[in-house]
């Protein structure tokens, strides 16, 4: 079943040349951008109105389908998985095409390769002009280049991933915090979301650490290991007694809530660090977090709750990251049957077999069926290829 879905999804995204809309691309409308008058509240209103709408008004507002750097990174990783799984050279060729696009479309002017979003974005914390690099995008795409080095054996891909680490280490702001064990203010720290803000969130720091550790594994560069461990120590120090993580520690971040896929990011990143470095000092943190994750974010049928304390919305991103997280953490006791349930739920409830794409979100009464390229199709493609690669292992 999942093989047929993956094949049809692959055909759909390729017919669109990996272009599409995004839940947060409202400000790509010249009209909406003008009407917001540079106001934070009006920008937020425009973005959230468009994101929550069940009707896609983007064509009317002259918002074009575009390639999203993060989505392209996920597609490239998926093709590398398929090449590893099938040895079919067509997947290597598609991965290389996208990798070349990512090289040509990085954000210039920083200490290393880095990537942002293809739209202006207003959050509750700060405004981000399009293509301003983020630690999240750069970490995911950097991990794709490490995968490309592993599979395609081209040194230039590792050099780009190493360069992305330079961006993380040299361009991002840091928040230092004492380690409870020794009180040293330099014992742990958190990375900012972008070079232009001082907004510190746990999942973004964990993702940065995962890339640093993967490149350390290849290069043996001690600074990468030290920075990965100190930043993950910050994340571990802020794990709640029940095993969960808040989005971040400031007032704005705490209002975001404790959600499914960001928790998955943290757990996956901790595991990547352990595997890449051979340092298993965060294992108890992983086990505690996994227990909370599996116990609080899923219904009996595998439905992935967005937040731990309420059911709706049921989101495609949460389902996709759940599949990846549960596969990654099998050696820590992740529930294989739960992984299969999430996959079956996703295909049964969020897949449009006639049109060949995944829906965005399911609410209590309505389903948002707009086919977003990054949030839905790229994540689903990536997750399905991870599942295919690991199904019989």
Asked if the structure places residue 264 within a domain, the reply is no
d(CA 236, CA 292): 14
Q: How confident is the model at residue 250 (pLDDT cuts 50, 70, 90)?
A: confident
Q: Phi/psi of residue 307, each to 5°?
A: -110, 155
Which tokens in the block code for residue 3? 């093989």
5 and 39, same domain (yes or no)? no
179 or 50: whose pLDDT is higher? Answer: 50
Asked if the structure places residue 352 within a domain, the reply is yes
Asked if the model's pLDDT at residue 392 lies above 80, the reply is no
Asked if the structure places residue 369 within a domain, the reply is yes
Asked if the structure places residue 53 within a domain, the reply is yes
Average pLDDT of span 82-100:
97
309 and 359, same domain (yes or no)? yes
Which tokens in the block code for residue 348? 């049964």
Asked if the model's pLDDT at residue 357 lies above 50, the reply is yes
d(CA 255, CA 241): 19
Q: Supply the range of the domain harboring residue 306.
A: 1-21+298-393
Note the pLDDT tens digit of each residue in 254-301. 778 899 999 999 999 999 999 999 999 999 999 999 999 999 999 999
30 and 12, same domain (yes or no)? no
Contacts of 70 (CB under 8 A, 6+ apart): 115, 117, 136, 137, 140, 141, 374, 378
Asked if the structure places residue 321 within a domain, the reply is yes
16 and 31, same domain (yes or no)? no
Distances (CA, A) of 76 to 46, 136, 270: 31, 16, 23
Contacts of 281 (CB under 8 A, 6+ apart): none
d(CA 80, CA 94): 9
Note the pLDDT tens digit of each residue in 318-333. 999 999 999 999 999 9
Asked if the model's pLDDT at residue 180 lies above 60, the reply is no
Last residue of a domain, one of 13, 43, 65: 65
Asked if the model's pLDDT at residue 179 lies above 70, the reply is no
Q: What is the pLDDT of residue 178?
A: 64
Asked if the structure places residue 343 within a domain, the reply is yes
357 and 391, same domain (yes or no)? yes
Asked if the model's pLDDT at residue 117 lies above 70, the reply is yes
Note the pLDDT tens digit of each residue in 188-206. 999 999 999 998 999 999 9
d(CA 119, CA 269): 27
Last residue of a domain, one of 35, 65, 95: 65
Q: What is the pLDDT of residue 291?
A: 98
Task: Choose the weakest-confidence range: 35-39, 66-70, 136-140, 177-181.
Answer: 177-181
- The answer to whether 237 touches 180, Cβ cutoff 8 Å, is yes
Average pLDDT of span 35-60:
96
Asked if the structure places residue 202 within a domain, the reply is no
Note the pLDDT tens digit of each residue in 122-150. 988 889 999 999 999 999 999 999 999 99
311 and 371, same domain (yes or no)? yes
Distances (CA, A) of 218 to 2, 157, 197, 391: 33, 12, 31, 27
Sheet arrangement for strand 367-368: 305-307, 310-315, 361-362, 367-368
Domain count within the chain: 2
Asked if the structure places residue 339 within a domain, the reply is yes
313 or 187: whose pLDDT is higher? Answer: 313
340 and 383, same domain (yes or no)? yes
| Averaged pLDDT score across all residues of the chain | 95
Q: How many CA atoms lie within 13 A of 301 on its CB side?
A: 9
Average pLDDT of span 70-83:
98
- The answer to whether 76 touches 93, Cβ cutoff 8 Å, is no
10 and 52, same domain (yes or no)? no
Q: What is the pLDDT of residue 343?
A: 98
Asked if the model's pLDDT at residue 186 lies above 80, the reply is no
61 and 10, same domain (yes or no)? no
Contacts of 341 (CB under 8 A, 6+ apart): 298, 301, 302
- The answer to whether 358 touches 364, Cβ cutoff 8 Å, is no
378 and 363, same domain (yes or no)? yes
């Amino acid at each position: 079943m999942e093989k047929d879905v993956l094949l049809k999804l692959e055909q759909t995204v390729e017919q669109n040349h990996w272009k599409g809309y995004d839940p947060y691309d409202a400000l790509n409308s010249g009209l909406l951008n003008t009407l917001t008058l540079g106001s934070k509240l009006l920008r937020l209103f425009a973005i959230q109105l468009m994101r929550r709408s069940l009707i896609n008004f983007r064509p009317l507002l002259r918002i074009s389908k575009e390639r999203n750097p993060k989505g392209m990174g996920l597609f490239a990783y998926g093709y590398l998985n398929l090449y590893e799984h099938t040895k079919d050279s067509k997947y290597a060729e598609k991965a290389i095409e996208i990798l070349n696009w990512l090289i040509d479309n990085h954000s210039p002017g920083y200490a290393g390769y880095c990537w942002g979003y293809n739209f202006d974005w207003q959050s509750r914390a700060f405004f981000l002009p399009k293509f301003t690099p983020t630690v999240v995008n750069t970490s995911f795409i950097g991990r794709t280049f490490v995968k490309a080095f592993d599979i395609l054996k081209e040194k230039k891909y590792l050099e780009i991933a190493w360069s992305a680490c330079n961006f993380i280490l040299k361009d991002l702001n840091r928040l230092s915090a004492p380690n409870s064990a020794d009180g040293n203010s330099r014992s742990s720290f958190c990375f900012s979301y972008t070079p232009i803000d001082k907004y510190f969130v746990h999942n973004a720091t964990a993702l940065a650490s995962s890339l640093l550790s993967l490149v350390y594994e290849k290069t043996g560069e001690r600074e990468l290991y030290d920075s990965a461990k100190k930043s993950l120590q910050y994340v571990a120090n802020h794990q709640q007694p029940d095993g969960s993580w808040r989005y971040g520690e400031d007032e704005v971040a705490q209002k975001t809530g404790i959600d499914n896929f960001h928790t998955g990011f943290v757990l996956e990143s901790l595991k990547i660090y352990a595997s890449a470095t051979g340092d298993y000092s965060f294992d108890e943190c992983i086990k505690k977090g996994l227990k909370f994750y599996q116990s609080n974010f899923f219904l009996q049928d595998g439905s992935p709750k967005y937040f731990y304390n309420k059911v709706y919305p049921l989101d495609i991103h949460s389902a996709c990251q759940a599949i990846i997280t549960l596969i990654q953490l099998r050696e820590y006791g992740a529930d294989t049957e739960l992984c299969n349930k999430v996959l079956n739920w996703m295909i049964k409830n969020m897949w449009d077999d006639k049109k060949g794409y995944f829906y965005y979100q399911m609410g209590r009464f309505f389903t948002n069926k707009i086919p977003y390229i990054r949030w839905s199709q790229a994540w689903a493609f990536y997750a399905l290829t991870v599942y295919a690669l690991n199904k019989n292992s």
